[in-house]
Copies of this chain bind each other. A is one copy, B any other.
Amino acid sequence: MPPSAHPPPSHPPLLPRTLAADVSTYVGAPATRVRLSGWVHRRRRLSGLAFVVIRDRSGTAQVVVKDPAALAQVDTLTEETTVDVVGMTSPNSQAPGGVEIIDPLLIPLTSPAATPPIEMWRPTHSAGLPTMLDHGPVTWRHPRQQAKWQLAAASMHGFRRTLESQSFTEIQTPKLVESATESGANVFSVDYFGKRAYLAQSPQFYKQMCVGIFERVFEVGPVFRAEPHDTVRHLAEYVSLDAELGFIDDHRDVVAALRDVLAGMVESIHERASSAVELLDVDIPRVPAELPVIHFREALEIVGAPSDEPDLAPAHERALGAWAKERHDSDFLVVEGYPMVKRAFYTSPQPDDPRWSNSFDLLFRGLELVTGGQRLHRYDDYVAALTQRGEALSPYEGYLETFRHGMPPHGGFAIGLERWTARLVEAENIREVTLFPRDLHRLAP
């Protein structure tokens, strides 16, 4: 049966569908008629014989074609064409799952697919990043690409599960905001019914407001940075895993919550994405029972930087990552006490020395992954902090109202999802692990 542009619908199905991963359940069973549905992942034509590998969401299965008419059909079933396959199970220790499908009826579901931009069946591909990104809807089908996102999806699951188990409430806060207040720079502006609005750079203000409501909150959602630099670690839109909690003693309680979240993300990866871990040979970190913490001052000493440096350079972060590995056998290192001058106005100062802050960065294998800390919680402190920075209060009206009506000491953190995944798979460019990246030059697909 040659494929046509409009083959007849395949329903009602003759048989319920069997997933590729489930053909292994027929090992040792009598030959059984089954139906697979999936993509033609690979064809190998030998003399008088063809192997067709079918890929579906569960994995791959092998189909063996010997019938001359079916062999002629295989020539037209180009890679990525979707098909139904009805055939008999047959043991073959060489086939994926130990079972292959023989004597198949092949029912194409579309016209033959166009040649894909990369060969899906090759274990690795040599396509450059522009090809991968330009053709994302197709190149993400490669099993190694799929696997990268499975790590991301499992991480989101672990993030939420951990926080839900500690009575955090999930929130969804607006991405359209009135003021470009949080940093001023790098904000996208939106035509909002003839007025100007902005895209939120983070849910920071809203998650703090929601601490006043729910005490402990989290949000997984997009954040927007009009990042004018073309770097391997910045995106114009990325997924932020945000948490915020009230009634803390200080930022160390936030570090403890972060540790639990990281442990939960790692646990979820082991549980839900083990085949991705295996395929990509990912070195999944161990999360220590307590994250090692050093003060910013100590960090400068360790890397041999002048004691008045206000920030850590990427090279410093790498050196600290190596130090944490050697000294603490830890892939993670918390640096607390960042200078107040480099932190946002809502940051709580270190009580015994207000040059430093009760805030921290988490380095993961020598790269900044998380920023967090304790926030101010008293209205008067907000007024003082904004005034000291020469800012008017009026753009902060709704935010400040929260603090006039009683707020607990609180703090939180934000994890960049793509940055986390990139570091897990040692991607050179964060775009390799972003489903459809957005940057200075890229707005499609």
- Give A81 to B140 CA distance when docked, in angstroms: 52
* A193 touching B440, Cβ below 8 Å: yes
* A12 touching B249, Cβ below 8 Å: yes
Check if A344 is an interface residue, CB within 8 A of chain B.
no
Q: Which of B37, B113, B175, B212 contacts A404 (CB 8 A)?
A: B113
Interface size for A (C-beta < 8 A) is 107
Q: A111-B380, A116-B405, A172-B239 are in contact. Are A443 and B192 (CB under 8 A)?
A: yes
Check if A184 is an interface residue, CB within 8 A of chain B.
no
* A57 touching B167, Cβ below 8 Å: yes
* A5 touching B175, Cβ below 8 Å: no
Check if A6 is an interface residue, CB within 8 A of chain B.
yes
* B141 touching A110, Cβ below 8 Å: no
Q: A57-B216, A190-B199 are in contact. Are A156 and B141 (CB under 8 A)?
A: no
Contact partners of A215 in chain B: CB under 8 A: 56-57
Q: A80-B406, A114-B405, A228-B193 are in contact. Are A178 and B443 (CB under 8 A)?
A: yes
* A444 touching B397, Cβ below 8 Å: yes
Q: List 19 A-B contacts (CB under 8 A).
A: A9-B409, A57-B167, A110-B377, A111-B379, A113-B406, A116-B405, A137-B399, A146-B213, A156-B172, A172-B435, A178-B443, A179-B444, A189-B191, A192-B443, A193-B226, A193-B228, A195-B443, A221-B222, A401-B445
A-B CB proximity, top 9 nearest:
A398-B445, A11-B249, A57-B215, A113-B406, A80-B406, A137-B209, A178-B444, A137-B402, A114-B404
Q: How often does this chain occur in the complex, in copies? A: 2
- Give A61 to B140 CA distance when docked, in angstroms: 53
Check if A197 is an interface residue, CB within 8 A of chain B.
yes
> Which of A10, A190, A197, A199 is most buried by chain B, counting CB atoms within 10 A of its CB?
A190
* Residue interface mask A66-85, B partner, CB < 8 A = 1: 00000000000000111000
Check if A157 is an interface residue, CB within 8 A of chain B.
yes
* Residue interface mask A385-414, B partner, CB < 8 A = 1: 000000000000111011111111100000
Check if A277 is an interface residue, CB within 8 A of chain B.
no
- Give A214 to B408 CA distance when docked, in angstroms: 43
- Give A417 to B113 CA distance when docked, in angstroms: 37
Check if A17 is an interface residue, CB within 8 A of chain B.
yes
Q: What's the least CB distance linking A334 to chain B, in Å?
A: 18
Q: A169-B153, A408-B82 are in contact. Are A188 and B192 (CB under 8 A)?
A: yes
Check if A359 is an interface residue, CB within 8 A of chain B.
no
Q: Which of B138, B170, B408 contacts A156 (CB 8 A)?
A: B170
Contact partners of A236 in chain B: CB under 8 A: 176, 192-193
- Give A246 to B109 CA distance when docked, in angstroms: 12
* B192 touching A190, Cβ below 8 Å: no
Contact partners of A270 in chain B: CB under 8 A: none
Interface residues of A in 39-70 (CB under 8 A from B): 39-40, 56-58
Q: What's the least CB distance linking A116 to chain B, in Å?
A: 6
